Homo-oligomer: A and B are copies of this chain.
Amino acid sequence: MNAPVFNNRDCGSCPIRHQAICSRCEQDELDYLDSVKYYRSYDAGQPVVWAGDPLDFVATVVVGVASLSQTMEDGRRQMIGLLLPSDFLGRPGREAVSYDVTAVTDLTLCCFRRKPFEGLLKTSPHIGQRLLEKTLDELDAAREWMLVLGRKTAREKIASLLSIIARRASSLMALKAPDGFAFDLPLTREAMADYLGLTLETVSRQMSALKKDGVIQLEGNRRVRVPDFAKLVAETGDDAGDLFGG
């Protein structure tokens, strides 16, 4: 077991990989980490865990998209988070997860068994800090989303979702390109509806309306072209001040 192996792991920006090449870490720790780290793959549509079930690992998304969602007894469903590559899944210190996790597209996770990971958190402050950082980001995103869910119109909701996915899928340069840019929508209309607190019919209608108004173009159902990103952002109802920001 020697050092280089930690550097060519392809984990996206997973916090552990960062940790593995951190010069302040002791070698023992790295060896230990490597021994508990493994990969898991899921097909699109496949469940990762159900709400209430124990989750014996924590993980980061390497490739693909996963959704976190809650379902009421009568079937009403709300997506409460979308995990894109580099996002963290799982809760150290708690065995069960309180929402359903589903692979939206084909998905690969980089996993760590939960118990050893928790031990690591106690002894390695860097990992905890990194994780705290990520959790705070997620909290900010969740709060941002509460404004979308609580106060925005259907059209504004759609525009908000598209602009968020566009930002995460495209480089800053692409967003600013004068002739626009395109991206793939990893979600079905139904999944979009679940995320936005709408019905799929309303999603479909508003997508059509945004198309008719020239805010977006559709190249097939799942590919969106944005001729002018500022125009899309203007439809979100947000302050345009942070147009190219977080």
Report if A101 contacts B (CB, 8 A).
no
Q: Which residues of B contact A80 (CB under 8 A)?
A: 143, 146-147
Report if A164 contacts B (CB, 8 A).
no
**Nearest-neighbor residue (CB-CB) of A135 within chain B:** B135
A73 to B242, CA, bound (A): 14
Q: Which residues of B contact A144 (CB under 8 A)?
A: 70, 98
**In the complex, per-residue mask of A128-145: 1 if CB is within 8 Å of any chain B CB, else 0:** 110111011011101111
CB distance B99 to A143 under 8 Å? Answer: yes
CB distance B149 to A197 under 8 Å? Answer: yes
How many copies the complex holds: the figure is 2
Report if A178 contacts B (CB, 8 A).
no
Q: Which residues of B contact A145 (CB under 8 A)?
A: 146
CB distance A98 to B140 under 8 Å? Answer: yes
In the complex, chain A residues 98-154 whose Cβ is within 8 Å of any chain B Cβ? 98-99, 121-123, 125, 128-129, 131-133, 135-136, 138-140, 142-147, 149-152
Report if A238 contacts B (CB, 8 A).
yes
Known A72-B237, A80-B143, A128-B128: A136·B133 in contact at CB below 8 Å: no
Known A122-B125, A135-B135: A147·B91 in contact at CB below 8 Å: no
**Nearest-neighbor residue (CB-CB) of A239 within chain B:** B73
**Nearest-neighbor residue (CB-CB) of A121 within chain B:** B129
**Nearest-neighbor residue (CB-CB) of A80 within chain B:** B143
